[in-house]
């Protein structure tokens, strides 16, 4: 597929060269880039309802001014003071978190679930070492467009902590204890690690799910200054004459992250299922408090200092959402059922009406008249009266008898001669009925 070329008239589109030509053409019609700091709003250029509203582009693409080598020293835009979720993305993220709670509620019917909210001590840098134009990046969810902590990373950190805590980080010591050659206490620890994380023969009983931040998540810049660049790159002796080189990059800030672990499986464990999940939860809290997760943990980043068990509250919210959705579904089905029945009733009546004779239709209309409705009384003296006379002249007298009965109820049958028009109509009906 042919590659796209940047539009020289629009510097903001230069990052589009990373897309295929046809994709870039579509995105050019959607893009509404905004280089201002803080919460991103719709740009005045383009359709505000059609834009690429995704943090992936802010972190990975909207960074570089030029790709010319001669301008490489000034090729990057300065970092924004803060990148928060836009209004549109915030609404989408709320729906994602709501669906996640519903999914966990459903999952809790078949598996044991534990949900922890952890408060970070500062910024976190998940995925900082991946390839990037600034040589420092972040792990952004490719679908939801928000920073997150992958479940595989969480599992790796917790397992590493367990090995350090019980076997001084030695895989060999762990395997020895698993064989029962290091005492009963060490064997219990080894079996618990095997049950939680698995081994070559069995998968781990505990699943570590991706951890998502709360709605107030945002990206804020941080800086790492290299003071002896020539020493690291060229091996020169480090001196104070070397120029410090600051490297800026984004970090993740959020009031809390939501960690989810679940336990499934019916095989025998060294501990009861609930106890094993509690152990895994305790290890997770200890690992993230003592070791942290992501990059720069030795500098205190990516660590957590407080955890709250929110399993019951979160699952209750999920079940409430499911109940609300079920009620809406039932209401929609009931509305559709009523609509279908009404449509079928009308169709049946239309078929019945089409099969009626004019006399039968006229009788039905007279029977539907109400004596206390002025409009019905006027209709009986005009349109219906003329049709009744026409039927009576053809020998069909039932409509005339029905109209007489209605007029007797409304007081329009026994009228004085001074009501000339109505008196004449009554006399005509009497004549047609053979009673005059």
Same domain membership, residue 316 and residue 396: no
Same domain membership, residue 191 and residue 85: yes
Same domain membership, residue 399 and residue 304: no
Round to the nearest angstrom and report the end-to-end CA distance of the chain. 97
Using an 8 Å Cβ cutoff, are 304 and 294 in contact?
no
Same domain membership, residue 402 and residue 265: no
Task: Single out the residue of 280, 311, 316 nearest to residue 114, CA to CA.
Answer: 311
Whether 266 shows a pLDDT value over 80: the answer reads: no
Count of beta carbons in the 10 Å neighbourhood of residue 103: 14
Task: Single out the residue of 380, 382, 423, 383 nearest to residue 405, CA to CA.
Answer: 380
The string of DSSP codes covering 292-318 is -SSS-GGGTTT-EEEEEE-HHHHHHHH
d(CA 324, CA 331): 10
Same domain membership, residue 241 and residue 149: yes
d(CA 227, CA 242): 7
Same domain membership, residue 308 and residue 174: yes
The per-residue pLDDT for 20 is: 72
Give a yes or no: residue 344 inside a domain: no
* Mean pLDDT, residues 363-378 taken together: 90
The per-residue pLDDT for 41 is: 46
Same domain membership, residue 410 and residue 306: no
Whether 200 shows a pLDDT value over 60: the answer reads: yes
Give a yes or no: residue 376 inside a domain: yes
The per-residue pLDDT for 40 is: 46
List the beta bridge partners of residue 118. 257, 307
Task: Single out the residue of 295, 144, 114 nearest to residue 208, CA to CA.
Answer: 114
* Mean pLDDT, residues 120-147 taken together: 81
More confident residue, 313 or 67: 313
Supply the range of the domain harboring residue 373. Answer: 358-433
Read off the pTM: 0.72
Q: What is the pLDDT of residues 331-351, one digit of tens each?
A: 999 999 999 999 999 999 999
Classified as helix, coil or strand, 264 is coil
Task: Single out the residue of 103, 99, 84 nearest to residue 145, CA to CA.
Answer: 84
Task: Single out the residue of 265, 259, 299, 302 nearest to residue 283, CA to CA.
Answer: 259
Same domain membership, residue 110 and residue 175: yes
Using an 8 Å Cβ cutoff, are 36 and 86 in contact?
no
- On the CB side of 54, CA atoms within 13 Å amount to 17
Give a yes or no: residue 56 inside a domain: no
Whether 37 shows a pLDDT value over 70: the answer reads: no
Same domain membership, residue 201 and residue 148: yes
d(CA 111, CA 209): 13
Q: Which residues contact 345 (CB under 8 A, 6 or more apart)?
A: none
The per-residue pLDDT for 19 is: 67
Same domain membership, residue 317 and residue 374: no
The string of DSSP codes covering 365-421 is HHHT--TT-HHHHHHHHTHHHHHHHHHHHTT--HHHHHHHHHHHHHT-SS--TTSHH
Q: What is the pLDDT of residues 164-178, one digit of tens each?
A: 999 888 889 988 888
Tell me how many domains the chain contains: 2
Residue 337, judged by CB atoms within 10 A of its CB (0-12, 13-18, 19+), counts as exposed
Considering 29-33, 128-132, 156-160, 242-246, the range whose residues carry the highest mean pLDDT is 156-160
pLDDT band at 42; cut points 50, 70, 90: very low
Same domain membership, residue 309 and residue 400: no
Give a yes or no: residue 66 inside a domain: no
Of 92-96, 137-141, 207-211, 223-227, the one with minimum mean pLDDT is 223-227
Give a yes or no: residue 292 inside a domain: yes
The per-residue pLDDT for 6 is: 47
More confident residue, 66 or 192: 192
pLDDT band at 315; cut points 50, 70, 90: very high
* Mean pLDDT, residues 422-429 taken together: 89
Main-chain phi, psi angles of 325, to 5 degrees = -65, -40
pLDDT band at 47; cut points 50, 70, 90: very low
Give a yes or no: residue 341 inside a domain: no
Please give the DSSP secondary-structure letter assigned to residue 137: -
The per-residue pLDDT for 72 is: 61
Same domain membership, residue 290 and residue 363: no
Of 280-294, 342-356, 412-426, the one with minimum mean pLDDT is 412-426
Give a yes or no: residue 343 inside a domain: no
Give a yes or no: residue 289 inside a domain: yes
* Mean pLDDT, residues 30-54 taken together: 47
The per-residue pLDDT for 49 is: 39
């Amino acid at each position: 597929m042919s590659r796209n070329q940047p539009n020289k008239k629009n510097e903001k589109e230069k990052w589009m060269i990373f897309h295929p030509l046809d994709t870039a053409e579509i995105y050019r019609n959607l893009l509404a880039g905004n280089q201002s700091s803080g919460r991103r709003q719709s740009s005045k250029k383009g359709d505000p309802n059609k834009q690429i509203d995704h943090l992936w582009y802010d972190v990975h693409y909207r960074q570089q001014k030029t790709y010319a080598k001669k301008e490489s020293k000034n090729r990057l835009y300065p970092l924004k003071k803060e990148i928060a979720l836009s209004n549109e993305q915030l609404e989408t993220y709320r729906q994602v978190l709501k669906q996640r709670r519903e999914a966990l509620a459903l999952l809790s019917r078949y598996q044991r679930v534990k949900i922890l909210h952890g408060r970070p001590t500062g910024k976190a840098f998940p995925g900082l070492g991946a390839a990037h134009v600034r040589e420092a990046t972040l792990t952004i969810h490719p679908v939801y467009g928000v920073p997150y902590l992958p479940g595989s990373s969480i599992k790796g950190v917790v397992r590493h902590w367990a090995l350090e805590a019980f076997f001084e980080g030695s895989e060999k010591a762990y395997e020895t204890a698993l064989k029962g050659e290091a005492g009963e206490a060490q064997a219990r620890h080894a079996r618990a690690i095997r049950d939680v994380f698995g081994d070559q023969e069995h998968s781990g009983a505990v699943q570590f799910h991706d951890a998502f931040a709360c709605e107030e998540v945002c990206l804020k810049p941080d800086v790492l200054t290299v003071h002896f660049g020539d020493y690291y790159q060229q091996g020169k002796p480090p001196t104070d004459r070397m120029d410090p080189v600051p490297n800026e990059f984004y970090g993740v800030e959020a009031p809390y992250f939501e960690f989810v672990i679940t336990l499934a499986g019916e095989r025998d464990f060294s501990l009861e299922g609930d106890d094993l999940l509690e152990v895994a939860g305790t290890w997770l809290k200890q690992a993230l408090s003592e070791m942290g997760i992501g990059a720069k943990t030795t500098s205190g980043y990516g660590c957590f200092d407080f955890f709250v068990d929110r399993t019951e509250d979160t699952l209750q919210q999920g079940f409430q959402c499911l109940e609300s959705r079920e009620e809406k579904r039932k209401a929609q089905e009931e509305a559709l059922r009523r609509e279908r029945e009404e449509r079928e009733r009308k169709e049946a009546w239309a078929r019945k009406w089409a099969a009626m004779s004019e006399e039968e239709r006229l009788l039905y209309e007279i029977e539907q008249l109400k004596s206390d409705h002025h409009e019905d009384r006027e209709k009986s003296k005009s349109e219906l009266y003329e049709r009744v006379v026409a039927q009576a002249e053809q020998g069909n007298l039932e409509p005339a008898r029905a109209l007489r009965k209605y007029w007797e109820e409304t007081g329009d049958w026994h009228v004085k001669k001074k009501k000339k028009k109505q008196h004449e109509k009554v006399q005509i009906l009497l004549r047609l009925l053979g009673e005059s």
